[in-house]
Amino acid sequence: MSSESPTSKKRSSDSEVAGERRTTTEMARTGAMLALAVLATLFAVLNLKEVKVDWIFGSGHAPLIIVIVISLLVGIVLAYMAERINRKRRQGADPR
């Protein structure tokens, strides 16, 4: 006869399910995020060359990665704002 009660067995199996073991999906997601981080780091390191940036009034020099990141951020902000405007129009035009 075992000294463990059925409740202690249940608790140990609950702790495994509660977070001690990762699912295949979580492991795949973690691996994908790690791969993206490595690629982003390599991209940044390979794009450190100075480039000339022409503005409406004047010009300057900046590392290529900074120009790329700023362009990406501006694109994300513009897409977010366009989606908000589009959502408001759809909500206002559809009275149903």
Residues 40 and 82 occupy one common structural domain: no
Token pair belonging to 46: 């390979």
Compute CA distances 34 → 16, 28, 49, 66, whole Å. Answer: 25, 10, 25, 22
Q: How many domains does the chain have?
A: 2
Residues 69 and 34 occupy one common structural domain: no
Asked if residue 51 lies in contact with residue 64, where contact means CB atoms within 8 angstroms, the answer is yes
The boundaries of the domain holding residue 94 are: 49-96
Token pair belonging to 94: 């559809």
Residues 55 and 95 occupy one common structural domain: yes
What does pTM read for this prediction?
0.55
Residues 1 and 40 occupy one common structural domain: yes
Residues 60-71 pLDDT 10s: 999 998 988 888
- Local confidence band at 94 (pLDDT 50, 70, 90 cut-offs): low
Residues 22 and 55 occupy one common structural domain: no
Residues 13 and 55 occupy one common structural domain: no
Residues 24 and 3 occupy one common structural domain: yes
Residues 34 and 17 occupy one common structural domain: yes
The predicted structure's pLDDT at residue 31: 93
Residues 94 and 74 occupy one common structural domain: yes
Residues 7-64 pLDDT 10s: 555 554 444 555 567 899 999 999 999 998 899 888 888 888 999 999 888 999 999 9
Residues 39 and 69 occupy one common structural domain: no
